[in-house]
Structure 1
Amino acid sequence: MINVLKIQNPYNRRKRKQAMIGDKMKTLVIVAHPDYHDSGTQGFLKRATEGLEEITWHYLPEQTEFNVAAEQQLLIEHDRIIFQFPMYWYSAPATLKKWEDKVLTRAFTFANEKGILKGKELGIVTTLGYPAKDFQAGATEGFSISEILVPYRALAHRAGMIFMTPLVVDQFDYMTPDQQTKLLIDYQQYLTAAFSFSFSVRQDWIIKQLKKMMNSNNQAQLQLVIDQLEQNKIDLNDLKDQIKMIRQAEEG
């Protein structure tokens, strides 16, 4: 059995810098779902990863004993860790909790000890059967998603990880085709774009994906879209510079 605590942490400064700019970043999607094989939402999200580079889809089967060394090795090899699960009674399914208890040992996880996860990113993709607007103070559920997911923020803090804004998927079965298309793009960006998902980062990501899609049949049409997006980015940067100059003049 491999003793991963003796493995040199490959997440050095160079790789941390790569992860920040989205250069060959490797993402691990850890999926916990009691009805995984019958879930239309998980099937959709799984298909959304097809064709994406550096993505590892890792489903946690029910009632299984985890190979701790192998699971820890997966964490070591990836830059962004995603916990993906349906919201069950304001928490994740028991399988994910069991995985955490077995795999995230103190010596392996704590930033002030071995700190193997330090500097990596932790994201949450959670699915809801109720509208997301119900999860806020004064609404039906009474608590926000941010409040419910506090334990994962605490985990990221203790491990020295960067906690990403959660991606919430609510009522997938009621989504229109346009809403599903938006979800597909949002999900792919969540897995592969550089955090913090600014407008500029999202735009660069879309241009990059369009360039990958270009082929002999639709090359001209896609090139027009790419050119327009790139021009919009230039225009936006010019606008930002103008606003900055106006503010400096007013302050002067």
Structure 2
Amino acid sequence: MGVDSKLKTLIVIGHPNIQDSRTQQFFKEAVQTFENVTFFDATAGLEIEKAQQLMVDHQRIILQFPLYWYSCPACLKDWLDQILSLSGIEETLANKELGLVVSLGVKSSEFQAGGREKFTLSELMRPFEAIANKFNMSYLPIFSLSNLSYLTEIETKQALIKYQQYVSMEKSFSFEISEQWHLEQLLKIQKNHPKFEEKIQMLIEEIEENRDELSTLEHSLKEMKEE
């Protein structure tokens, strides 16, 4: 099974100043060509009925916010209080996926035992995991991003791809799923930018030629984990 092209993702942004946030603009630009991704601004009025319908229409729901005093900003908390109190919200959220995209003001490495912040991000975000459990949702691993000023150019590009995958790729990671995801992205570029068609076709052929080697490597890694 590859990338689920039918997967629809709703990204709820809880940021008090989205337009001036370099990180939020980075996220938005990263997936602006993704057809099955919808952004919803939790600060632009409650719009409760619209938000609930969007949740009905999307399988993956992502809460995207900067870390404020070890939690989400008040604007997102207020929005969640309203949404989670709606009649019938249990049926709306059941069996959907809940993910968190958290932007940090310090390096991610500070959030660990022995680090400056002492606690891991997973520990700090447990209330969101409890919400997922309460409403019978599948809780995804947290995606976090350090302040962009801490990242090198290569790290920034890697973060962009990882974010795109977090938003659009199946939660059960495998080399096969990752490979299929990259192939789909290359095909999109090939379609929209004909001048790169020859180079992209070469990349696609190279990926397909190495498919057997990747499958063997994945199988070997799985065996090592089971030992």
| Aligned 8 A contact 2:3 2:180 in 1 | no
Q: Which amino acid aligns with 1:32?
A: G
Q: 1:133 to 1:35 in 2, by over 3 A?
A: same
Q: TM-score, normalised by structure 2?
A: 0.90
Residues 10-49 of structure 1 deviation map (CA, whole Å, 9 limit, x = unaligned): xxxxxxxx9x961311110000112211111111111111
2:133 aligned counterpart, secondary structure: helix
What residue number does 2:205 align with? 227
Which of 11, 26, 30 is equivalent to 2:8?
26
Counterparts of residues 191-206 of structure 1 (less than 5 Å): 191-206=167-182
Q: Which amino acid aligns with 2:93?
A: L
What residue number does 2:100 align with? 124
Deviates more, 1:78-87 or 1:168-177: 168-177
What residue number does 2:31 align with? 49
1:200 aligned counterpart, secondary structure: helix
Q: Which amino acid aligns with 2:28?
A: K
1:210 and 2:210 matched? no
1:235 aligned counterpart, secondary structure: helix
Deviates more, 1:22-31 or 1:90-99: 22-31
Instruction: For 1:140 and 1:216, locate their aligned partners in 2 and report how far apart those are by CA, in whole Å.
Output: 49
1:82 aligned counterpart, secondary structure: strand
What residue number does 1:91 align with? 71
Q: Which amino acid aligns with 1:26?
A: K
Instruction: For 1:206 and 1:121, locate their aligned partners in 2 and report how far apart those are by CA, in whole Å.
Output: 22
Give the greater-gyration-radius structure (CA).
Answer: 1
Counterparts of residues 177-192 of structure 1 (less than 5 Å): 177-192=153-168
> How many positions carry a matched residue from both structures?
221
Q: Which amino acid aligns with 1:160?
A: N
Q: 1:154 to 1:220 in 2, by over 3 A?
A: same
2:109 aligned counterpart, secondary structure: helix
Instruction: For 1:158 and 1:194, locate their aligned partners in 2 and report how far apart those are by CA, in whole Å.
Output: 22
User: Which structure's relative contact order is higher, taking Cα pairs within 8 Å and 6+ residues apart?
Assistant: 2
What residue number does 1:102 align with? 82
| Aligned 8 A contact 2:104 2:146 in 1 | yes
Residues 179-238 of structure 1 deviation map (CA, whole Å, 9 limit, x = unaligned): 111111111111111112333211210111101111431111111111111222222224
What residue number does 1:236 align with? 214
Percent identity, aligned pairs only?
35
Q: Which amino acid aligns with 1:171?
A: N
Structure 1: gaps spanning 5 or more residues: 1-17, 248-252
